[in-house]
Structure 1
Amino acid sequence: MKYFTKIISVVALLSLLVSSLSGCGQTNDSNASSSGTVATSTSEYKYGKIDIPGKDGSLCGAPIYIAYEKGFFAEQGFDVNLISADTETRKIGLNNGTIPIVNGDFQFFPSIENDVKVKVVDGLHYGCIKLLVPTDSPIKGVEDLKGKKISVDEIGGTPHQVASVWLEKNGISAKQEDGEVTFLPFSDGNLAVEALSRGEVDVAALWDPFGSVQEKTGNYRVILDISTDEPFAGKYCCFLYASEKLLDESPEKVAALLRAYRAAQNWISENPEETVDIIINGNYAQIEDKELAVELVKSYAYPSTADRAESVTRVHDNVLYFAQQLYQIGYLTTDPETFAKEAYADVDINLGS
């Protein structure tokens, strides 16, 4: 996700998912879900109407769709209006409190360092980025990447950061000036794959679902899957970020939102197939390969209630971990311990319940 959203080629997603702009525009009225649940009056909601960005067509947004469709937001007192919002709109809304919460990956950490007024309040899911090579490539792992060219969506974007962390952890400099690897930006995933197939780059760092779609063709194989491979395995790549203004003025609202998200995450962990059905029926994304979509939802390991009980400090620990990694490769300048302390807020989930 670039900061808060993943920008994925529309053409690429025709293989599995495309950002459902027209569909999302036609559905998701704030008072009616695709399952027919209707609220008669905003006055029935304890916390009233709020806007939450939730129309980017990404599987990463599944907890938003499920919390909306299954009534978890409503149960916690919110009349939610799902909106489209670009990165700058989200930043402005978070700063002034008109957007209470968003999901995003660790690429947003530098924005926190640059004074965007948000706090990490929870983890969302595990990784959704893969590094691919052609099936017949001699490259087997990170040790083979010295001197190679790697395509990324943008310099400084999350796939670039992921590849950089992987390289640096294994003794290969990711700094362009050192010349041990070369990063080439391709804003369109299709162009990146074309370059890979022609040998113009050696590796492509791709967002899901596009990376998984390409793997499934049999023409490419994965050398790094951040949902399962070190140094990313078992760690959140995407988090929930809450408005600092809302946290200061109405922490009970943030707690209520987290209860809704957690209920949705738990439901997804128990019902991945039905989750994909709801996404399809609600036009949150267009899915051509349902089986692959279900596999991806499972691989993201949305945390269940039991998962959270086993590791109550996981979110803070993951924020600290990725702050350390980004600090080591030069994307953060703040001491990681200090950054994690300032960037993470431990919200009492029972506030206002």
Structure 2
Amino acid sequence: MIRKRLLRVGTGKKVPFTQLVKIRNFTAWTIGLLCIVLLSGCSGNISHAEKYTGDKADTENSVIRIAYSGKLDESPLFAAVENGYFEEQGIRVELINGEDAEIQEGIRSGTIDGVTADYRFFKSIEEGLPLQFTAGLHAGCIRLIVPADSEIGSVTDLQNATIGIEAPGDGTMVIASMLFKNNDMYQDGEEVQWSCYGEAGYEKAFQNKEIDAAFIWEPAENTAEQLDQTYRTIFATAQKSSTGGHGHNHSSSIHFTRSFVGLSGKLIQEHRDKAAFITKAWLEGAVWVSENPEAAVKLAASKYGVKGSYEDNMELISSYMWTNGVKDAKPNIQYYITEQRANGLLDNTLEEEDFYRKVFAEILPEFQ
């Protein structure tokens, strides 16, 4: 029996989610792609930067205006500015602080040239936002957890359960969708009962009996030890021996990009070389964050208004993998597009390859 489902957002607010949550049939290449995408482990950072060996960008009077909203995942941008990485590439940068809606409006009007982008931008790009991704900045692994006393023991036990995810269309939903398909669950148009725990956190959602299981981003090592005392891990992309409930072994860890370098389509079209140098400097900032997390947290808080305690931000930044780089961007973006389309976040009639070319700009030679 096919049931209409609702998405619960936060702590109790419900919104219709019929189109969004429908698990449609996945193509074979989609599942195969997940098994090969991003083979680096989650126990540490990725400390490589894409090497672009061309000449510096021609110095022009124009200034590249990059927006930020004061979030920790914007740390590579802060580092690139403070350490002079943009200047080393011949790029003059002005940082502009604003809220998300203001930033997107600035991109549309041409007053903003770049931003740290994430999964939420796919829909805006579909609707005409002139922004393209040029590289991944940081990534994370994902766990499926249940309370320690839960009767759920495998992925297949999640049929008809309420599934907690961080946000519609993000990596937690992507992994969940993959597991359901791998285990022949929610077929023939049957819908999943998702519940977005969001900023309130999965702990509160479990306490309020709003969810039966949760897909969460892999926490820092010290928090993971505490988590294991309260919850059981049913599946983890960081575990080489993880199975999907029917013995689908993942021979290596899988992680998903959480943020990207986002640049104006006009900038890329008219100054492609400059866009490449901007991307390189931004990636160098991500490498610096990987190697200097304490300094990155202090910089973000003292100069760029990032909120939260030092301890909490250190825990968060330590759970990220910096950098994700250019070569991993293509499979990540393709997978996000496929799953957001499959779950109704993007138009079902969308041509995925055409949209991929609209989203991603292949501007660094190492990508070819």
Indicate the TM-score class for this superposition, using the shorter chain for normalisation.
Answer: 0.5 to 0.7
**Distance (whole Å) between structure 1 residues aligned to residue 234 and residue 224 of structure 2:** 13
Q: Which residue of the partner structure matches residue 98 of structure 2?
A: 84
Among residues 264, 289, 311, which one is paired with 1:243 in the alignment? Answer: 264
**Distance (whole Å) between structure 2 residues aligned to residue 91 and residue 336 of structure 1:** 23
Q: Which residue of the partner structure matches residue 178 of structure 1?
A: 190
Give the TM-score normalised by the residue count of structure 2.
0.65
Among residues 103, 126, 144, which one is paired with 2:157 in the alignment? Answer: 144
**Distance (whole Å) between structure 2 residues aligned to residue 167 and residue 187 of structure 1:** 21
The 3-state SS of whatever aligns with 2:115 is strand
**Distance (whole Å) between structure 2 residues aligned to residue 260 and residue 123 of structure 1:** 13
**Pairing 1:292-331 to 2, within 5 Å after superposition:** 292-293=315-316, 295-297=318-320, 300-303=321-324, 313-331=327-345
Evaluate the alpha carbon distance shift between residue 126 and residue 187 of structure 1 in structure 2; reply closer, same or farther with a 3 A threshold: closer
Among residues 112, 115, 129, which one is paired with 2:128 in the alignment? Answer: 115
Instruction: Please tell me whether the aligned partners of residues 148 and 202 of structure 1 are also in contact (alpha carbons under 8 angstroms).
Output: yes
Give the TM-score normalised by the residue count of structure 1.
0.68
Instruction: Please tell me whether the aligned partners of residues 205 and 211 of structure 2 are also in contact (alpha carbons under 8 angstroms).
Output: yes
Among residues 311, 334, 337, which one is paired with 1:288 in the alignment? Answer: 311
Q: Which residue of the partner structure matches residue 23 of structure 2?
A: none
Deviation of 1:258 (Å): 0.9
**Pairing 1:255-270 to 2, within 5 Å after superposition:** 255-270=276-291
The 3-state SS of whatever aligns with 2:323 is coil
Among residues 184, 195, 200, which one is paired with 1:189 in the alignment? Answer: 200
**Distance (whole Å) between structure 2 residues aligned to residue 184 and residue 292 of structure 1:** 25
Instruction: Please tell me whether the aligned partners of residues 112 and 264 of structure 2 are also in contact (alpha carbons under 8 angstroms).
Output: yes
**Greater relative contact order (CA < 8 Å, ≥ 6 in sequence):** 2
AA at the equivalent of 2:351: D
Instruction: Please tell me whether the aligned partners of residues 10 and 196 of structure 2 are also in contact (alpha carbons under 8 angstroms).
Output: no
Deviation of 1:197 (Å): 2.2
Among residues 137, 141, 161, which one is paired with 1:124 in the alignment? Answer: 137
Instruction: Please tell me whether the aligned partners of residues 106 and 237 of structure 1 are also in contact (alpha carbons under 8 angstroms).
Output: yes
Structure 2 gaps of 5+ residues are: 1-8, 12-58, 243-249
Is 1:202 paired with 2:216?
no
Structure 1 gaps of 5+ residues are: 1-6, 10-44
**Distance (whole Å) between structure 1 residues aligned to residue 137 and residue 10 of structure 2:** 20
**Percent of pairs identical after alignment?**
26
Evaluate the alpha carbon distance shift between residue 163 and residue 215 of structure 1 in structure 2; reply closer, same or farther with a 3 A threshold: farther
**Deviation larger for 255-264 or 325-334:** 325-334
AA at the equivalent of 2:280: R
**Distance (whole Å) between structure 2 residues aligned to residue 263 and residue 240 of structure 1:** 12
Deviation of 1:148 (Å): 0.7
**Distance (whole Å) between structure 2 residues aligned to residue 290 and residue 185 of structure 1:** 22
Q: Which residue of the partner structure matches residue 16 of structure 1?
A: none
Evaluate the alpha carbon distance shift between residue 134 and residue 89 of structure 1 in structure 2; reply closer, same or farther with a 3 A threshold: same
Q: Which residue of the partner structure matches residue 219 of structure 1?
A: 230
**Distance (whole Å) between structure 1 residues aligned to residue 174 and residue 205 of structure 2:** 20
CA RMSD of aligned residues (A): 3.8
Instruction: Please tell me whether the aligned partners of residues 134 and 197 of structure 1 are also in contact (alpha carbons under 8 angstroms).
Output: no
Evaluate the alpha carbon distance shift between residue 234 and residue 182 of structure 1 in structure 2; reply closer, same or farther with a 3 A threshold: closer
Q: Which residue of the partner structure matches residue 296 of structure 2?
A: 275
Deviation of 1:184 (Å): 2.7
The 3-state SS of whatever aligns with 1:302 is strand
Instruction: Please tell me whether the aligned partners of residues 54 and 65 of structure 1 are also in contact (alpha carbons under 8 angstroms).
Output: no
**Distance (whole Å) between structure 2 residues aligned to residue 147 and residue 48 of structure 1:** 56
Q: Which residue of the partner structure matches residue 339 of structure 1?
A: 355
